[in-house]
Protein backbone atom coordinates (compact mmCIF):
# COMPACT_ATOMS: atom_id res chain seq x y z
CA UNK A 1 0.00 0.00 0.00
CA UNK A 2 1.16 3.51 -0.77
CA UNK A 3 0.05 6.04 1.85
CA UNK A 4 -2.12 8.90 0.63
CA UNK A 5 -3.67 11.60 2.77
CA UNK A 6 -6.69 13.63 1.76
CA UNK A 7 -4.54 16.68 1.08
CA UNK A 8 -2.10 14.80 -1.13
CA UNK A 9 -2.01 13.51 -4.67
CA UNK A 10 -0.18 10.57 -6.20
CA UNK A 11 1.44 11.06 -9.59
CA UNK A 12 2.36 7.89 -11.48
CA UNK A 13 4.69 8.82 -14.29
CA UNK A 14 5.00 6.34 -17.14
CA UNK A 15 6.86 6.59 -20.41
CA UNK A 16 3.79 7.61 -22.37
CA UNK A 17 1.26 8.83 -19.87
CA UNK A 18 0.56 9.92 -16.34
CA UNK A 19 -2.00 9.01 -13.70
CA UNK A 20 -3.13 11.34 -10.92
CA UNK A 21 -4.88 9.93 -7.86
CA UNK A 22 -6.58 11.67 -4.94
CA UNK A 23 -8.92 10.52 -2.21
CA UNK A 24 -12.57 11.44 -2.60
CA UNK A 25 -12.35 12.92 0.89
CA UNK A 26 -15.26 14.53 2.60
CA UNK A 27 -16.66 15.82 -0.67
CA UNK A 28 -18.71 12.71 -1.10
CA UNK A 29 -21.30 13.83 -3.63
CA UNK A 30 -20.54 13.94 -7.33
CA UNK A 31 -22.79 14.62 -10.30
CA UNK A 32 -22.84 12.54 -13.46
CA UNK A 33 -24.51 14.43 -16.26
CA UNK A 34 -25.70 12.64 -19.35
CA UNK A 35 -27.70 14.10 -22.21
CA UNK A 36 -30.82 12.62 -20.64
CA UNK A 37 -30.48 12.74 -16.89
CA UNK A 38 -28.47 13.53 -13.80
CA UNK A 39 -27.16 10.77 -11.56
CA UNK A 40 -25.70 11.40 -8.13
CA UNK A 41 -22.66 9.41 -7.14
CA UNK A 42 -21.95 9.11 -3.42
CA UNK A 43 -18.44 8.06 -2.48
CA UNK A 44 -16.71 7.18 0.75
CA UNK A 45 -13.78 9.33 1.94
CA UNK A 46 -11.28 6.58 1.16
CA UNK A 47 -12.58 6.06 -2.38
CA UNK A 48 -10.54 7.48 -5.22
CA UNK A 49 -10.66 9.94 -8.06
CA UNK A 50 -8.27 8.79 -10.76
CA UNK A 51 -7.30 10.97 -13.71
CA UNK A 52 -5.44 9.60 -16.69
CA UNK A 53 -3.47 11.80 -19.07
CA UNK A 54 -2.20 10.65 -22.43
CA UNK A 55 0.95 12.75 -22.42
CA UNK A 56 3.71 12.92 -19.83
CA UNK A 57 4.68 16.55 -20.09
CA UNK A 58 4.46 19.18 -17.38
CA UNK A 59 1.27 20.65 -18.78
CA UNK A 60 -0.50 17.32 -18.59
CA UNK A 61 0.57 16.80 -14.99
CA UNK A 62 -0.71 20.24 -14.05
CA UNK A 63 -3.87 19.45 -15.98
CA UNK A 64 -4.43 16.28 -13.95
CA UNK A 65 -4.27 18.26 -10.74
CA UNK A 66 -6.57 20.97 -12.08
CA UNK A 67 -9.16 18.47 -13.31
CA UNK A 68 -9.16 16.60 -10.00
CA UNK A 69 -9.28 19.88 -8.10
CA UNK A 70 -12.26 21.08 -10.12
CA UNK A 71 -14.12 17.85 -9.53
CA UNK A 72 -13.34 17.41 -5.84
CA UNK A 73 -13.01 20.94 -4.53
CA UNK A 74 -15.33 22.88 -6.84
CA UNK A 75 -17.88 20.14 -7.37
CA UNK A 76 -17.66 20.25 -11.14
CA UNK A 77 -19.87 17.59 -12.66
CA UNK A 78 -18.74 14.62 -14.70
CA UNK A 79 -19.96 15.19 -18.23
CA UNK A 80 -20.78 11.89 -19.90
CA UNK A 81 -20.78 12.30 -23.65
CA UNK A 82 -22.99 10.21 -25.91
CA UNK A 83 -21.28 7.40 -27.76
CA UNK A 84 -19.33 8.46 -30.83
CA UNK A 85 -19.53 12.10 -29.86
CA UNK A 86 -16.78 13.98 -31.73
CA UNK A 87 -15.53 15.58 -28.52
CA UNK A 88 -14.39 12.20 -27.19
CA UNK A 89 -11.29 12.15 -29.33
CA UNK A 90 -10.37 15.69 -28.27
CA UNK A 91 -10.07 14.84 -24.62
CA UNK A 92 -6.59 14.89 -23.12
CA UNK A 93 -7.55 13.67 -19.67
CA UNK A 94 -10.20 11.22 -18.51
CA UNK A 95 -11.38 10.60 -14.97
CA UNK A 96 -12.75 7.70 -12.99
CA UNK A 97 -14.35 7.76 -9.54
CA UNK A 98 -15.02 4.93 -7.13
CA UNK A 99 -13.43 2.42 -4.79
CA UNK A 100 -11.67 0.62 -7.65
CA UNK A 101 -10.39 1.56 -11.09
CA UNK A 102 -8.85 -0.66 -13.74
CA UNK A 103 -6.70 0.86 -16.44
CA UNK A 104 -6.92 -0.46 -19.97
CA UNK A 105 -5.17 0.66 -23.14
CA UNK A 106 -7.08 -1.63 -25.44
CA UNK A 107 -10.69 -0.77 -24.95
CA UNK A 108 -12.90 -0.48 -27.98
CA UNK A 109 -15.60 2.13 -28.15
CA UNK A 110 -18.99 0.81 -27.18
CA UNK A 111 -17.87 -2.62 -26.09
CA UNK A 112 -17.20 -2.09 -22.41
CA UNK A 113 -20.16 -2.05 -20.09
CA UNK A 114 -17.95 -2.14 -17.01
CA UNK A 115 -18.10 1.08 -15.05
CA UNK A 116 -14.68 0.90 -13.49
CA UNK A 117 -12.47 0.91 -16.58
CA UNK A 118 -10.41 3.94 -17.44
CA UNK A 119 -8.36 4.54 -20.56
CA UNK A 120 -4.64 4.72 -19.99
CA UNK A 121 -1.35 4.52 -21.80
CA UNK A 122 0.35 1.18 -22.53
CA UNK A 123 2.47 0.91 -19.40
CA UNK A 124 -0.59 1.16 -17.18
CA UNK A 125 -2.55 -1.49 -19.04
CA UNK A 126 -4.03 -3.97 -16.56
CA UNK A 127 -3.24 -1.92 -13.49
CA UNK A 128 -5.87 -2.10 -10.80
CA UNK A 129 -6.11 0.76 -8.31
CA UNK A 130 -8.04 0.44 -5.08
CA UNK A 131 -8.67 2.97 -2.36
CA UNK A 132 -7.97 1.56 1.10
CA UNK A 133 -7.82 3.14 4.52
CA UNK A 134 -4.91 5.56 4.59
CA UNK A 135 -3.69 4.88 1.09
CA UNK A 136 -3.89 3.22 -2.28
CA UNK A 137 -3.26 -0.37 -3.32
CA UNK A 138 -2.05 -1.35 -6.77
CA UNK A 139 -2.11 -4.61 -8.67
CA UNK A 140 -0.11 -5.36 -11.82
CA UNK A 141 1.81 -2.11 -11.53
CA UNK A 142 5.13 -2.17 -13.35
CA UNK A 143 8.13 0.01 -12.66
CA UNK A 144 6.91 3.58 -12.82
CA UNK A 145 7.92 6.66 -10.90
CA UNK A 146 5.48 7.48 -8.13
CA UNK A 147 5.47 10.92 -6.52
CA UNK A 148 3.38 12.01 -3.57
CA UNK A 149 2.73 15.71 -3.81
CA UNK A 150 0.53 18.27 -2.00
CA UNK A 151 -2.91 18.56 -3.53
CA UNK A 152 -3.27 22.29 -3.71
CA UNK A 153 -3.36 24.74 -6.59
CA UNK B 1 -17.02 3.01 -10.78
CA UNK B 2 -17.64 5.75 -13.29
CA UNK B 3 -15.54 7.26 -15.98
CA UNK B 4 -15.95 10.47 -17.80
CA UNK B 5 -14.41 12.25 -20.67
CA UNK B 6 -13.64 9.11 -22.54
CA UNK B 7 -17.35 8.76 -22.65
CA UNK B 8 -17.53 5.76 -24.90
CA UNK B 9 -16.09 3.60 -22.17
CA UNK B 10 -19.11 3.88 -19.96
CA UNK B 11 -22.52 2.39 -20.44
CA UNK B 12 -24.49 4.71 -18.28
CA UNK B 13 -27.50 2.41 -18.41
CA UNK B 14 -25.44 -0.32 -16.78
CA UNK B 15 -24.78 1.73 -13.67
CA UNK B 16 -26.60 0.32 -10.71
CA UNK B 17 -28.20 3.63 -9.99
CA UNK B 18 -31.58 3.63 -8.30
CA UNK B 19 -34.35 6.14 -8.09
CA UNK B 20 -34.71 7.70 -4.65
CA UNK B 21 -37.31 9.86 -2.99
CA UNK B 22 -36.59 12.15 -0.07
CA UNK B 23 -38.90 11.78 2.92
CA UNK B 24 -38.23 15.36 3.95
CA UNK B 25 -38.66 17.43 0.81
CA UNK B 26 -40.15 14.80 -1.56
CA UNK B 27 -37.39 15.42 -4.07
CA UNK B 28 -36.86 12.56 -6.49
CA UNK B 29 -33.47 11.75 -7.95
CA UNK B 30 -31.31 8.97 -9.32
CA UNK B 31 -28.29 7.97 -7.29
CA UNK B 32 -25.64 5.37 -6.64
CA UNK B 33 -23.45 4.74 -3.63
CA UNK B 34 -23.52 3.61 -0.03
CA UNK B 35 -24.51 6.81 1.78
CA UNK B 36 -27.16 8.44 -0.34
CA UNK B 37 -28.50 11.83 0.76
CA UNK B 38 -30.95 14.19 -0.85
CA UNK B 39 -29.15 16.63 -3.16
CA UNK B 40 -31.80 19.24 -2.48
CA UNK B 41 -32.18 19.34 1.31
CA UNK B 42 -29.23 17.11 2.28
CA UNK B 43 -31.44 14.84 4.36
CA UNK B 44 -30.39 11.22 4.72
CA UNK B 45 -34.02 10.19 4.99
CA UNK B 46 -34.23 8.93 1.46
CA UNK B 47 -35.79 5.74 0.19
CA UNK B 48 -35.33 3.79 -3.02
CA UNK B 49 -38.41 3.83 -5.19
CA UNK B 50 -39.65 1.94 -8.19
CA UNK B 51 -39.61 3.64 -11.55
CA UNK B 52 -43.37 3.36 -11.72
CA UNK B 53 -43.89 5.33 -8.49
B15 inside 8 A of chain A by CB: yes
CA distance A109 to A84: 8
- Nearest C-alpha in A relative to B32: A41
Residue-wise pLDDT for B26-47, tens only, equals 999 999 888 899 999 999 999 9
Q: Which of B4, B8, B33 is closest, CB to CB, to A95? A: B4
Structural domain count, chain A: 1
So what's the ipTM on this one? 0.73
Strands in A6-92 per DSSP E: 8-13, 18-23, 29-33, 38-42, 48-53, 78-79
Q: What's the pLDDT at A64?
A: 93
Q: What letter does residue A82 receive in the DSSP assignment?
A: P
A98 inside 8 A of chain B by CB: yes
Q: What's the pLDDT at A23?
A: 96
Would strands B2-4 and A145-150 be described as parallel, antiparallel, or unpaired?
unpaired
**Span B1-29, mean pLDDT?**
68
Can you give the residue range of the structural domain that contains A59? 2-150
B51 inside 8 A of chain A by CB: no
Residue-wise pLDDT for A15-42, tens only, equals 888 999 999 998 888 988 888 889 899 9
pLDDT(B17) > 80? yes
- Tens digit of pLDDT per residue, chain A (153 long)? 999 999 999 999 988 889 999 999 988 889 888 888 898 999 999 999 999 888 889 999 999 999 999 999 999 888 877 777 787 778 888 888 888 888 876 644 333 434 566 777 778 888 999 999 999 999 999 888 999 999 988
Q: Do A94 and B37 touch (CB under 8 A)?
A: no
User: Which among A96, A103, A106 is the top mutation candidate for probing chain B, defined by the most B β-carbons within 10 Å of its own β-carbon?
Assistant: A96
How close A50 comes to chain B (CA, Å)? 9
Task: Spell out the residues 6+ positions from residue A97 whose beta carbon is closer than 8 angstroms to its own.
Answer: A24, A30, A41, A43, A47, A48, A49, A50, A71, A78, B1, B2
Q: Do B35 and A107 touch (CB under 8 A)?
A: no
CB contacts of B14 in chain A (<8 Å) are: 113-115
A69 versus B12: which is more confidently predicted? A69
Q: Do A42 and B35 touch (CB under 8 A)?
A: yes
Residue A103: its H or E element: strand A100-104
Amino acid sequence: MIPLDHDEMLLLKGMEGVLGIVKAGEHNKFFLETDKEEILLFLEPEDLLVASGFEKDEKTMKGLKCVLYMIRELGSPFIVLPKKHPASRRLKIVVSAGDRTRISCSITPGTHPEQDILCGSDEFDGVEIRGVKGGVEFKNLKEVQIDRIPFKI
Amino acid sequence: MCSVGDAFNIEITSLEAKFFKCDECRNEFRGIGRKVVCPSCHSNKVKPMFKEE
